[in-house]
């Protein structure tokens, strides 16, 4: 991995963990997500003028197809993620979501593509599962585990969407040469259109979000696409198997923010769990 790619990925990790902290604080619903898409496109649209050499791809079938499929997948991701944040801790949902994405990819490859389970893969799977069990406190019988198990459930579902949309967008950028910025803007546009009928039914909630969370919406609209555009840009110069694990250093930041900023319980145990999950991701990438 070149220094340029490393800087892109690590910067993306910091931005990603930061906007997830803000999202956890708001516990926003559909109008909140819709506002993110609208504000994000307003902020990033001017940057298209720096990509005049790629304007010919703006109406290409590949851009339309991949951005629409990405919009559907990102909507599922955001809705489930926000629901997870409303019902569980950041330091549970975030590492499970980020760690389960490569886990899902490798299990699917073994089950459906009949790939063999190598030693490195086995170690990686073991570490990720050990990290998940560590987050639960190695017990599924405690009464206070209800919230933790809820976080794990939403984290796993979120990870499933992360795995699918990452693959979808990586193919768009690497194989079809779609601009990361154009893909992000088109995805946001499709997402906003798909959510509009639901937003129109929640006008009071929309007004409340604008009044209460306008600055947080602005920051997330800036940080979230920025983080993902950096990752997509990195994918142009490095393989997915290298970029994806490096990107997940955000797991450590997310857990640290959850325990320190939000004062969530079991910070040390969850940090240990996040290290195990990150180690598992790295092991999978080298297998």
pLDDT, one tens digit for every residue, the chain (287 residues): 578 888 888 899 889 889 888 888 887 789 999 999 999 999 998 887 776 665 555 567 888 899 999 999 999 999 999 899 888 888 788 888 887 777 776 666 567 656 566 777 677 777 777 776 676 665 555 555 677 788 888 988 998 998 888 888 888 888 888 888 888 999 999 999 999 999 999 999 999 999 999 999 999 999 998 998 898 888 888 776 667 667 777 777 777 777 777 776 776 777 777 777 777 777 766 66
Kindly provide the b/e burial profile for residues 206-231, where b requires at least 16 CB atoms within 10 angstroms of the residue's own CB. beebeeebeebbbebbbbbbbbbbbb
Residue 147: what pLDDT? 73
Inter-residue contact 164 to 66 (CB < 8 Å): no
Cα–Cα distance for residue pair 100/73, rounded to 1 Å: 16
Alpha-carbon distances of 220 from 1, 5, 97, 149, 216, rounded to whole Å = 28, 23, 18, 27, 6
pTM equals 0.79
Nearest alpha carbon to residue 131 among 81, 85, 179, 91:
91
* DSSP-based three-state secondary structure for 141: coil
Residue 219: what pLDDT? 95
Domain that holds residue 91: 3-286
Residue 116: what pLDDT? 65
Distinct helix (H) and strand (E) counts, the chain: 11, 0
Residue 35: what pLDDT? 95
Cα–Cα distance for residue pair 253/103, rounded to 1 Å: 20
Residue 239: what pLDDT? 73
Residue 284: what pLDDT? 64
Number of domains in the chain: 1
Nearest alpha carbon to residue 243 among 253, 232, 251:
232
Cα–Cα distance for residue pair 85/63, rounded to 1 Å: 31
């Amino acid at each position: 991995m070149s220094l340029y790619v490393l800087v892109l990925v690590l910067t993306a990790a910091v931005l990603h963990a930061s906007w997830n902290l803000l999202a956890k604080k708001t516990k926003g619903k559909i109008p909140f997500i819709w506002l993110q898409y609208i504000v994000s496109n307003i902020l990033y649209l001017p940057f298209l003028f720096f990509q005049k050499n790629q304007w010919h791809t703006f109406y290409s079938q590949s851009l339309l197809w991949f951005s629409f499929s990405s919009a559907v997948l990102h909507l599922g991701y955001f809705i489930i993620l926000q629901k997870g944040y409303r019902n569980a801790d950041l330091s549970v949902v975030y590492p499970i979501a980020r760690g389960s994405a490569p886990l899902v990819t490798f299990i699917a490859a073994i089950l459906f593509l009949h790939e063999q389970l190598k030693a490195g893969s086995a170690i990686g799977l073991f570490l990720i599962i050990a990290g998940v069990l560590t987050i639960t406190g190695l017990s599924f019988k405690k009464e206070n585990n209800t919230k933790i198990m809820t976080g794990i459930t939403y984290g796993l579902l979120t990870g499933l969407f992360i795995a699918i949309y990452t693959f979808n967008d990586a193919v768009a950028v690497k194989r079809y040469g779609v601009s990361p910025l154009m893909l992000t803007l088109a995805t946001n546009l499709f997402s906003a259109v798909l959510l509009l009928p639901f937003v129109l039914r929640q006008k009071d909630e929309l007004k409340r979000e604008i009044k209460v969370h306008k600055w947080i919406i602005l920051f997330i609209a800036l940080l979230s696409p920025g983080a993902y555009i950096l990752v997509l840009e990195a994918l142009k110069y490095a393989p997915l198997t290298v970029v994806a694990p490096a990107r997940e250093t955000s797991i450590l930041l997310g857990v640290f923010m959850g325990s320190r900023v939000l004062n969530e319980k079991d910070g040390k145990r969850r940090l240990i769990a996040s290290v195990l999950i990150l180690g598992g991701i790295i092991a999978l990438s080298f297998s």
